[in-house]
Amino acid sequence: MIRFASSLRRLRNGALWLAAAAAVGAAAPAWSAGHGIFEGADLALGERLIRENQCDACHIRRVGGNGHGIYNPKGRISTPGALRGMVEYCSTELNLQLFPEEVTAVGAVLQRDHYRFK
């Protein structure tokens, strides 16, 4: 019963966060419109941080397979601002203590490799 309650709490917290991320993405300030949020990001830094922080291993534990299924759900992340917000969320939840430019670098790699916002 404790495991169920813990899982339910995690799901509820995740759903609340996703709703907040969607709202932030929808109401993003002018500087984050479109791809501008990732312009000039250090892709090599983002790739290194993803590797060092074992992001794929965490995603595999959550969704199985190669972990890329976490990027696919419709409506989950629909704007560059929401994507950057999700990276910030992961950094906070896992206590990675990433600097803002590092969050942007990781987001830029995810944009390039998985999301491809137009």
Provide the mean pLDDT of the chain: 76
When pLDDT is averaged across residues 93-109 and rounded to a whole number, the result is 96
The DSSP code sequence of 2-30 is: HHHHHHHHHHHHHHHHHHHHHHHHHT--G
Asked if 83 and 110 count as a contact pair (C-beta separation under 8 A), the reply is yes
pLDDT level of residue 49 (50, 70, 90 thresholds): very high
Which residue did the predictor score with more confidence, 25 or 62?
Answer: 62
Enumerate the H helices of 27-54 as residue ranges: 43-52
**pLDDT confidence band for 31 (50 / 70 / 90):** very low
Higher pLDDT, 29 or 61: 61
pLDDT category of residue 24 using cuts at 50, 70 and 90:
very low
pLDDT of residue 102: 98
pTM of the predicted model, to two decimals?
A: 0.67
Confidence of residue 118 (pLDDT cuts 50, 70, 90): confident
Q: Regarding predicted confidence, which is higher, 34 or 37?
A: 37
